[in-house]
Amino acid sequence: MADIVARETEIHDLHFLVVDDDDTFLTVLSATLRTLGASRITTARTGSDALTKMISSQRPIDCILCDLKMPSGNGLQLLKAIRTGRVKAMRPDACFIFITAAADSEFIRTAAQLDVNGYVVKPVTREKMLPVIVRGRAKAIAIDIKHYETIAVPDNAQ
């Protein structure tokens, strides 16, 4: 029990960016994060909206929870932009977790090549989220921008 309380205290201090083109899911995921103790949650509906929110954020974003399939910049494009250092407001090793119903092998392979921190398969529950966030934040990533630049990412993962 003490371990769970410690993890929830850790979650409370984080700033989350939740990215999904479904308003209902944004609401559900934000509510789930609040039940875990999160108090700083920013939402975005597209990859390009997420980039804008990262750049304009007054407080650094600690963890990105992102859908794969979205218009105007899919999740893999967003992850690649962060890992290759194109988002100056974000550390290239930022915690990035995919929240998706799409778990095909090509997506998983590409996300792994880009050193994604974790995955949560929809539907999302409190019990699924907490361990993935804790593990994802603990995962050390040795950034290799030249390697990330060579990874082919689809323009539209719709």
What pLDDT digit, counting tens, does each position of 53-69 carry? 999 988 889 999 999 88
CB 22 within 8 A of CB 46: no
Instruction: Render the burial of 35-72: b for 16+ CB within 10 Å, e for the rest.
Output: ebbbeebbbbbbbebbbebbeeeeeebbbbbbbbbbee
Give residue 4's pLDDT.
Answer: 46
Q: Exposed, middle or buried by CB within 10 Å (0-12, 13-18, 19+), for 6?
A: exposed
156 or 143, greater pLDDT: 143
Place of tokens 């979650």: 11
Look at residue 100 and tell me whether its pLDDT is greater than 80: yes
Record the tokens describing residue 140, joined without a space: 């050390």
Q: What is the CATH number of domain 2-139?
A: 3.40.50.2300
| Banded model confidence at residue 103, pLDDT cuts 50, 70, 90 | low
What is the pLDDT averaged over residues 137-141? 92
6 or 69, greater pLDDT: 69
Give residue 137's pLDDT.
Answer: 94
Whole-number Å distance between alpha carbons of 20 and 15: 17
Domain ranges of the chain: 2-139
Model confidence pTM above 0.85: yes
Give residue 42's pLDDT.
Answer: 97
| Banded model confidence at residue 155, pLDDT cuts 50, 70, 90 | confident
